[in-house]
């Protein structure tokens, strides 16, 4: 993901000030708001919080796409407000996926009167993805819960009456496939998004970084896209 972001950012005329991975993680402490306009953070759940925390504490705008650490997100948002910094988070930066999110919300609202339809979510990702379910699947579940009164939460591969079942599959060379099912005894309705590569995610992250520069506050894709 980092290599794809670097390629797209360079193609769009940006200069990369730092590239940090597991081999030089300590170099994060050398980044300042004087030499870097925006940081784009795609790492792992165990490192994301400290990476983001350093940036918001030092008023370096940061775009984060790492999932699996969001129980600590309120802390980051509080620090961001206190330091008058800028934090942009999305579970998925693809323009197509964010349109899919909106369609998912609309469909859930339409299905609210029809209790005979049981809703579930399936997500498929590459075998290197560590967290499950994906942040995208969780965002889909949250969009359903906001609009479908009979669902109060979600469970991973568990079938309960008031919870949305999410099935997480890991297969080689899958960029990301998400499907929402509404099933009854009579028929099935489904909506699906299939990512053909990581290009869409990386481009969206770069667009978010361009948009975030010189801003203050906590933002997401709805702000970028004007939804």
Domains of the chain: 2-93+199-225 (3.40.50.720), 95-194 (3.30.360.10)
- 93 vs 85: CA distance, rounded Å: 21
Which pair of structure tokens corresponds to residue 46?
């165990």
Residues recognised as catalytic: 125, 129
Q: How far apart are CA 29 and CA 185, in angstroms?
A: 57
Count other Cβ atoms within 10 Å, centred on residue 170: 14
Q: What is the mean pLDDT of the chain?
A: 94
Predicted confidence band of residue 159 (pLDDT cuts 50, 70, 90): low
Average pLDDT over residues 113-135: 92
Q: What is the pTM of this model?
A: 0.80
Name the band, by pLDDT with cuts 50, 70 and 90, for residue 91.
confident
Does the pLDDT of residue 130 top 80, yes or no?
A: no
């Amino acid at each position: 993901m980092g290599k794809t972001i670097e390629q797209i950012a360079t193609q769009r005329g940006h200069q990369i000030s730092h590239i940090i991975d597991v081999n030089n993680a300590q170099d994060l402490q050398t980044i300042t708001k004087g030499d870097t306009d925006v940081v784009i953070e795609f790492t792992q759940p165990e490192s994301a919080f400290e990476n983001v925390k350093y940036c918001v504490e030092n008023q370096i705008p940061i775009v984060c796409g790492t999932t699996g650490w969001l129980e600590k997100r309120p802390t980051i948002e509080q620090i961001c407000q206190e330091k008058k910094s800028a934090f942009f988070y999305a579970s998925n930066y693809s323009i197509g996926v964010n349109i899919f999110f909106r369609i998912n919300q609309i469909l859930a609202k339409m299905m609210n009167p029809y209790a005979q339809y049981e809703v579930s979510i399936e997500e498929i990702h590459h075998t290197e993805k560590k967290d499950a379910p994906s942040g995208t699947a969780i965002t889909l579940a949250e969009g359903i819960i906001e609009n479908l009164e009979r669902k109060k939460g979600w469970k991973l591969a568990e079938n309960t009456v008031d919870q949305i079942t999410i099935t997480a599959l890991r297969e080689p060379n899958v960029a990301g496939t998400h499907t929402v099912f509404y099933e009854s005894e009579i028929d099935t309705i489904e909506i699906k998004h299939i990512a053909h590569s990581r290009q869409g995610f990386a481009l969206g992250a770069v667009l978010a970084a361009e948009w975030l520069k010189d801003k203050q506050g906590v933002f997401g894709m709805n702000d970028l896209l004007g939804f």
